[in-house]
């Protein structure tokens, strides 16, 4: 699945685009297991892009779909860890009451309505890309900014994104310039404030 490949690369806009396409296809052929897997992936993408309310709703729906297949997600450590991480991050961002409200709502939706809600455009990813004075980072710049916020050095960013070190340095310099920031610490704080 292309969405999963882009998730591994932390290219959230591409991952979301491919996951949304996959979800449409899986609904068309009523691939319930595929829908459940893709909903889990979309919840992860939503938490990574700051759309925590959307993540909670999608997790609620995904858990209901999984309950008809295998509540334990086939005992898969990777699937269960991803799901727990998404839930933890969404709960921390929203608080218990708001998380539970969105989660319950997702769990009450019929399958086609759930997929429709999962496919809705979200504000979180768009807000994540915006800088001061209406400036917008490209998807690649947003990806690089996220990696800087994780504490990666330019050579590590280059390795992660499979680009030249100089290209990574150029991305960081352009991002700092666009946002009017002076250093990587300020960029990390800017990214964290938007999560």
Residues 141-177 as b/e (b if ≥16 CB within 10 A, e otherwise) read: bbbbbbbbbeebebeebbebbeeeeeebeebbeebbe
User: Which residues span the domain enclosing 170?
Assistant: 130-193
Residues 182 and 91 occupy one common structural domain: no
Count the helix, strand and coil residues of the chain and give each as a percent rounded to the nearest 5.
80, 0, 20
Encode pLDDT of 95-152 as tens digits: 999 999 999 999 999 988 888 888 875 544 434 444 444 457 888 888 999 999 999 9
Please give the model's pTM, rounded to 2 decimal places: 0.61
Number of domains in the chain: 2
- Tell me, yes or no, whether 171 and 117 share the same domain: no
Give residue-wise pLDDT tens across range 74-102. Answer: 777 887 888 899 999 999 998 999 999 99
Same domain, 76 and 153: no
Residues 8 and 99 in one domain: yes
Q: Are residues 11 and 93 in the same domain?
A: yes
């Amino acid at each position: 699945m292309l969405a999963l490949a882009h998730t591994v690369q932390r290219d959230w806009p591409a991952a979301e685009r491919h996951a949304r396409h996959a979800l449409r296809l899986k609904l068309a052929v009523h691939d319930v297991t595929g829908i459940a897997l893709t909903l889990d992936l979309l919840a992860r993408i939503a938490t990574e892009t700051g759309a925590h309310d959307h993540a909670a709703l999608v997790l609620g729906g995904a858990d209901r779909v999984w309950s008809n297949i295998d509540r334990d997600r086939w005992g898969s450590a990777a699937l269960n860890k991803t799901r727990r991480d998404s839930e933890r991050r969404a709960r921390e961002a929203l608080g218990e009451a708001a998380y539970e409200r969105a989660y319950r709502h997702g769990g009450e939706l019929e399958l086609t309505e759930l997929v429709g809600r999962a496919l809705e455009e979200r504000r979180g990813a768009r807000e994540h890309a915006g800088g001061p004075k209406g400036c917008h980072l490209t998807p690649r710049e947003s990806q690089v900014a996220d990696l800087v916020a994780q504490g990666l050095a330019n050579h590590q960013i280059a390795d992660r994104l499979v680009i030249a070190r100089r290209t990574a340095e150029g991305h960081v310099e352009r991002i700092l310039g666009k946002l009017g920031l002076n250093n990587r610490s300020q960029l990390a704080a800017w990214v964290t404030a938007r999560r």
